[in-house]
Amino acid sequence: MPSVDERHGLCLMAIHAHPDDESSKGAATMARYVSEGVDVLVVTCTGGEEGSILNPAMDRPGVAERIVEVRREEMENARRILGVRQEWLGFVDSGLPEGDAPPPVPPGRFSTTPVTTAVQPLVRLIRAFRPQVITTYDESGGYPHPDHIMTHKISIEAFEAAGDPERYPEVGVDAGLDPWQPLKLYYHLTFHKERILALHEALLARGLESPYTDRLDEWAGRAAEAGRLTTRVPCADWFETRDRALIAHATQVDPTGWWFRIPLDVQRETWPTEDYQLARSLIEVGTLPEDDLFNGV
């Protein structure tokens, strides 16, 4: 593992749609890099105002009425556990339209904000924080939530614009911030088929029940995603930290739910990495797959 001195000056920005997304996607990676001295900033695009109370233990009087404050408190708890910094972009959760004919997202929500408007606070943060590496979602959002898809859109726009002094000068030179060009952009590949299948088979081999049976049945005709996987970051020693951060989002995560049905020793032995796709790189990275988001930096 690299020493703290070797990591001095490195910065990682993780861009997420809602509070709790940072703890379910890339959390062990972030905790590992923090332990190595990397400065890690989580950017949360919305306040998660539309999130349901998914943990029965939290479905009690007064919680729903102050969900905005509660989710901020949860985010702060998770942030402390991971050891990262965190900033809010300040947009309002779009909610997840459902049904055969889902209703349109109301005006004024994150996903209905013009990209050129929504990207400006993110460009400002990139120029202020100056990360070499950014993580975000792919064009599908990881799943088709409008806020996840919008997060992808503004991440791409910000990556390409932050280094150009002529783009968004109101959050750049006019605001006293110099341009900054990140070097690498990654997409999370947290729930890809190869990983889920490996964990499923490991559980069955040990005589344990797998929570992935139904999902794998749904994915029966789905193509493998190994071709997208460019980067596997070893971080098994921080899986417990990841889980504690996720549990800190108490309204969203039931600690007795399926997230936690796979023993940590099975996870560490079967799939000890968090996985990514290198989507943009302005530097030579050498042979893929790589095992470090800062490879080549």
Q: DSSP states of the chain as a string? A: ---HHHHTT-EEEEEESSTTHHHHSSHHHHHHHHHTT-EEEEEEEE--TT-----GGG-STTTGGGHHHHHHHHHHHHHHHHT-EEEEEEEPP-----SSSPPPPPTTSGGGS-HHHHTHHHHHHHHHH--SEEEE--TT-SS--HHHHHHHHHHHHHHHHTT-TTSSGGGTGGGT------SEEEEE-TT-HHHHHHHHHHHHHTTPPPTTHHHHHHTTTPPP-GGG--EEEE-GGGHHHHHHHHHTSTTT--TTSGGG-S-HHHHHHH--EEEEEEEEESS---SSSBS-TTTT-
- When pLDDT is cut at 50, 70 and 90, the band that residue 191 belongs to is confident
Per the structure, how many domains does the chain have? 1
- When pLDDT is cut at 50, 70 and 90, the band that residue 205 belongs to is very high
- Indicate whether 207 pLDDT > 80: yes
Tokens 């503004």 belong to 154
Q: Which tens digit of pLDDT belongs to each residue from 258-272?
A: 889 999 999 999 999
CATH number for position 171:
3.40.50.10320
* The Cα angle at residue 45 between residues 151 and 71, in degrees rounded to 5: 135
Q: Stretch 99-106: mean pLDDT, rounded?
A: 82
Look at residue 295 and tell me if it is in a domain. no
Look at residue 155 and tell me if it is in a domain. yes
pLDDT given for residue 52 in this prediction: 82
Look at residue 91 and tell me if it is in a domain. yes
Q: Other CB atoms closer than 10 Å to residue 31's CB: what's the count?
A: 24
Cα 100 to Cα 289: distance, rounded to the nearest angstrom: 40
**Of 137 and 58, more confident:** 137
152 known ligand binder: no
pLDDT given for residue 274 in this prediction: 98
Structural domain range at position 234: 4-281
pLDDT given for residue 64 in this prediction: 84
Q: Which tens digit of pLDDT belongs to each residue from 125-147?
A: 999 999 999 999 999 988 889 99
41's CB contacts (< 8 A; 6+ apart) are: 11, 12, 13, 14, 84, 85, 86, 87, 125, 129, 131
- Look at strands 273-281 and 231-234 and give their pairing: antiparallel
Look at residue 66 and tell me if it is in a domain. yes
Q: Stretch 226-235: mean pLDDT, rounded?
A: 91
Look at residue 117 and tell me if it is in a domain. yes
- Indicate whether 206 pLDDT > 80: yes
Q: Stretch 197-217: mean pLDDT, rounded?
A: 93
Look at residue 287 and tell me if it is in a domain. no
**Cβ(109)–Cβ(94) below 8 Å:** yes
pLDDT given for residue 224 in this prediction: 64
Q: What is the pTM of this model?
A: 0.95
pLDDT given for residue 1 in this prediction: 67
16 known ligand binder: no
pLDDT given for residue 99 in this prediction: 74
145 known ligand binder: no
- When pLDDT is cut at 50, 70 and 90, the band that residue 227 belongs to is confident
- Indicate whether 23 pLDDT > 80: yes
Of the candidate ranges 36-40, 43-47, 141-145, the one whose mean pLDDT is the lowest? 141-145
Closest CA to 134 of 187, 87, 185, 189: 185
Look at residue 296 and tell me if it is in a domain. no
Of the candidate ranges 7-11, 97-101, 180-184, 211-215, the one whose mean pLDDT is the lowest? 97-101
Look at residue 292 and tell me if it is in a domain. no
pLDDT given for residue 282 in this prediction: 97
- Indicate whether 202 pLDDT > 90: yes
- Indicate whether 60 pLDDT > 90: no
- Angular region, 159: left φ>0, alpha ψ -120 to 50, beta rest: alpha
pLDDT given for residue 24 in this prediction: 95
pLDDT given for residue 167 in this prediction: 97
- Indicate whether 296 pLDDT > 70: yes
